Amino acid sequence: MIIKRLELKNFRSYKEEEIEFPLGKILFEGDVGSGKSSILYAIEFALFGLGEMSGDMLMRVGEEETSVKLVFEINGKEYSVFRSLARKEKGIAQKEGWILYDGRRHFLSSTEMRKKILDILNFKESVKTKSSFIYRYAIFTPQEEMKEILRMRSEDRLQTLRKAFGIEDYKIAKENAKLILDEIKSKIRFLEGEIADLDKLMKEKEEKRKRLENIKSEIENLENKKNSVSQRLEEIKLEIEKLDKMYEEISKIEVQLPLLEKEVREKKNIILEKENENRILSKEIISIEKELEEGRKIEAISISEDELREKIFENIKNKEETIKKISEIRLIIKNFENLLEKGICPTCGRVVDPEEFKEKIILERKKEEEISKEYEKIKNEEKILNELRDKLIQYEKISKRLEELEKRLKENKEKIYSNEIKISETEKELKELEKNILEKRILVENNKELYAKIEEKNKEKTIFEKHLEEIISQISSLKGNLKTLEEILSEIEIQIDKKMRKKEEKEKLEEYVIWIQELFIPALDMIEKNVLLTINHEFNEIFQKYFYMLMEESDIRVRIDESFSPIVEQFGYEIGIDSLSGGEKTSLALAYRLALNLMVRKVCTSMKNNILILDEPTDGFSKDQIFKMREVLNNIDCSQIIIVSHEKELESFVDKIFYVEKIGNISHIREGP
Ligand SMILES: Nc1ncnc2c1ncn2[C@@H]1O[C@H](COP(=O)(O)OP(=O)(O)O)[C@@H](O)[C@H]1O
Ligand SMILES: [Mg+2]
């Protein structure tokens, strides 16, 4: 860090002041109380805030607001930091603050600013410390604090220096390691408790796994059994189906039997009927033949019916003519008798000869007699003709009858023949039918056996079904067991897995314990001791170098002991610091401070060797000693050394002088050469 510029406003004895810092050795020179140390306070306030300083100490009396702006450079990069204080009812408090870098102003709270500044300075320390420990020991150690370090009890000093050298980190690391160790041990104890039942669980897992295998093989056996039983059951079912079909078919046949028997009866009836019919027909044939024989005996009549009809017709005509003749004659006779009786002709009125008329009548009577004879003859012939006609009718009747009989005879014979054929056919059919019935009867008879067989098969089926059911229920219950067991097993496995991981964790932690206990902590101890020893050694060298530089001709010998306490010897005897003169004391303090500053800077790797601030380093020095400061200052390898002093003699040792004066109540800074 290089300080470039400082602006003060109402800071302690200052009203308003601006200082540009060059590189090299800078001296702020002025009387006691002129306002030199205030500049250093302002720098520290700008960087770290109030810290151990109070607002009242920094704010100018009677003012309401105070501010400081510091411009500094780190690795070529410029930063501006601004802080302010304001008086309030309760007291003085920090107000607005900002840091400017990368062309931007970052407004931050006081804590955020401290954190950022530590970051920028690359100081690896806690934000919680009031100021910066590294700043206080590596850059600027106020005079009072320096004296305090020297006055401290050796243990307290060692403690403080350990902090300054970062040795404290080893102790903290050790303590942390012990804390971690305790934590790890308690974690191990906890894990031991957690895995206490691991062996038991493993055993349980093995048992359950065996049981699981057993159940699996049991299930497999049962599955095989189930398969063979169901196969057998299927076979039985098929057999039953086959038998049922057979039984059904035969049952159908059984139903057919009465129908067939009815058919037999019908056929028998047909035969009987036909035989009966034939008997009747045969009898009829016999009587027909007899009748035919009788009928054939009747002689044949030679005249034909037409001839006979003609003759009869002629006979009737003759008869009618004869009757007509007779009636005509009778009429004539009658007329003659009338005339005879009256004696005159009515027509002509002449008298009638009775003889004549008697003769005439006799003659007519003779004629009548002859015609009557003729009539008798015709009548006789009529009688014969009528008889012949009757005979002819009779004959024709018989002929017709014979014809009928013959026809009938023929028909009967044919009928008998057809009946016989029918009988023979029916008998044949009957035979077939009976044979068929017989066969079917046998089948039906066998069906009873079939029924019994089906019953038996059904019983067998029921047994197998029951058996199958039992097996299935066994399997399902076993599967249930299996599932539960698998769940339990998986739960156990999860537990074992968890516990195994815990066991591994425990074993790892045990390794850590060994490592921390036996390697890490002893290593820390050793490192701490060695580091401290090395620092002590170097510290001693620097301390002696600067002390002897300032006290060239003195017979006083100094060194530091292992607790960094300065030991002063004269003539081989150890003497107390209080017995030293003022100048000797200041030399010892300055040598000690430089050794401390340089060592802290060396230990804190983040610090670059570029700034050192010294406040009144020559307080109590003799003129001679003051001149020795030139060598000391030249010996310090630093790009910027800020020295505050009231000694004018230092002027010739530095590159730049600022004169600090208080005029009235206000401090002013005047640039010197
Ligand atoms: N809050 C303050 N307001 C005004 N003046 C102050 C305040 N605090 C201290 N002073 C005065 O400022 C002057 C400068 O102090 P300081 O810088 O310590 O002097 P020195 O130059 O001796 O180091 C002293 O006279 C001191 O009394
Ligand atoms: Mg002072």
Q: Inform me whether the pLDDT recorded for 570 exceeds 60.
A: yes
Residues within 5 Å of ion ligand 2, judged at the Cβ atom: 37
Q: How sure is the predictor about 516, in pLDDT bands with cuts at 50, 70 and 90? A: very high
Residues near 475 by beta carbon (within 8 Å), at least 6 away in sequence? 219, 222, 223, 226
Q: Which residue in this structure is represented by tokens 């931007």?
A: 104
> Residue 92 burial (CB < 10 Å; 0-12/13-18/19+)?
buried
Q: Inform me whether the pLDDT recorded for 609 exceeds 70.
A: no
Q: Mutation test of ligand 1: which of 6, 38, 44, 666 has the most ligand atoms closer than 8 Å to its C-beta?
A: 38
Among 159-168, 251-260, 533-542, the minimum mean pLDDT is found in 159-168
**How far is it, in rounded angstroms, from Cα 277 to Cα 416?**
8
Does the CB atom of residue 66 touch ligand 1 within 6 A?
no
- At 128, is the secondary structure helix, strand, or coil? coil
Does the CB atom of residue 32 touch ligand 1 within 6 A?
yes
Residues near 442 by beta carbon (within 8 Å), at least 6 away in sequence? none
Q: Inform me whether the pLDDT recorded for 606 exceeds 60.
A: no
The predicted pLDDT at position 608 comes to 67
**How far is it, in rounded angstroms, from Cα 411 to Cα 398?**
19
Per DSSP, 299 falls in state P
- Specify the ligand 1 atom closest to the Cα of 39: 17
Per DSSP, 577 falls in state G
Cross-sheet strand order for the sheet of 566-570: 556-560, 566-570, 573-575
Q: How sure is the predictor about 604, in pLDDT bands with cuts at 50, 70 and 90? A: low
Closest Cα to residue 183, out of 645, 509, 559, 552? Answer: 509
Greatest alpha-carbon pair distance for the chain in Å reads 267
Ligand 1 centre to CA of 584 (Å) is 28
Residue bearing the CA closest to ligand 1, atom 2: 12
Does the CB atom of residue 668 touch ligand 1 within 6 A?
no
| Angle formed by the axes of helices 354-514 and 168-194, nearest 10° | 140
- Specify the ligand 1 atom closest to the Cα of 30: 21
Residue 473, phi then psi, degrees to nearest 5:
-65, -35
The predicted pLDDT at position 186 comes to 95
% residues pLDDT > 70 (the chain): 99
Ligand 2 centre to CA of 36 (Å) is 6
Instruction: Determine the average pLDDT of the residues in 137-158.
Output: 79
DSSP states of 418-487: HHHHHHHHHHHHHHHHHHHHHHHHHHHHHHHHHHHHHHHHHHHHHHHHHHHHHHHHHHHHHHHHHHHHHH
Q: How sure is the predictor about 90, in pLDDT bands with cuts at 50, 70 and 90? A: confident
> Residue 285 burial (CB < 10 Å; 0-12/13-18/19+)?
middle
> 251-282: per-residue pLDDT in tens?
888 888 899 899 999 999 999 999 999 999 99
Instruction: Determine the average pLDDT of the residues in 139-143.
Output: 80
Question: What is the overall mean pLDDT for the chain?
Answer: 90
Ligand 2 centre to CA of 29 (Å) is 10
DSSP states of 161-203: HHHHHTTHHHHHHHHHHHHHHHHHHHHHHHHHHHTTTHHHHHH
- Specify the ligand 1 atom closest to the Cα of 36: 21
**How far is it, in rounded angstroms, from Cα 179 to Cα 376?**
192
Ligand 1 centre to CA of 36 (Å) is 8
Does the CB atom of residue 62 touch ligand 1 within 6 A?
no
Q: Inform me whether the pLDDT recorded for 4 exceeds 80.
A: yes
The predicted pLDDT at position 52 comes to 79
How many Cα atoms are found within 13 Å in the side-chain-facing hemisphere of 430?
Answer: 16
Topology annotation, domain 2-152+551-671: Rossmann fold (3.40.50)
Ligand 2 centre to CA of 616 (Å) is 7
What does DSSP say about strands 77-87 and 65-74: parallel, antiparallel, or unpaired?
Answer: antiparallel
The predicted pLDDT at position 136 comes to 81
> 193-228: per-residue pLDDT in tens?
999 999 999 999 999 999 999 999 999 999 999 999
Contact 40, 644 (CB under 8 A): yes
Residues near 133 by beta carbon (within 8 Å), at least 6 away in sequence? 125, 163, 164
Q: Inform me whether the pLDDT recorded for 129 exceeds 90.
A: no
The predicted pLDDT at position 607 comes to 62
Instruction: Determine the average pLDDT of the residues in 52-79.
Output: 93
Ligand nearest to the CA of 13: 1
Residues near 183 by beta carbon (within 8 Å), at least 6 away in sequence? none
Does the CB atom of residue 30 touch ligand 1 within 6 A?
yes
Q: Mutation test of ligand 1: which of 13, 15, 44, 614 has the most ligand atoms closer than 8 Å to its C-beta?
A: 13
The predicted pLDDT at position 137 comes to 78
**How far is it, in rounded angstroms, from Cα 65 to Cα 88?**
10
> 656-668: per-residue pLDDT in tens?
999 999 999 999 9
Helices (H), 343-353: none
The predicted pLDDT at position 151 comes to 78
Ligand 2 centre to CA of 144 (Å) is 10
Say which residue, 203 or 584, is predicted with more confidence: 203
Contact 106, 99 (CB under 8 A): yes
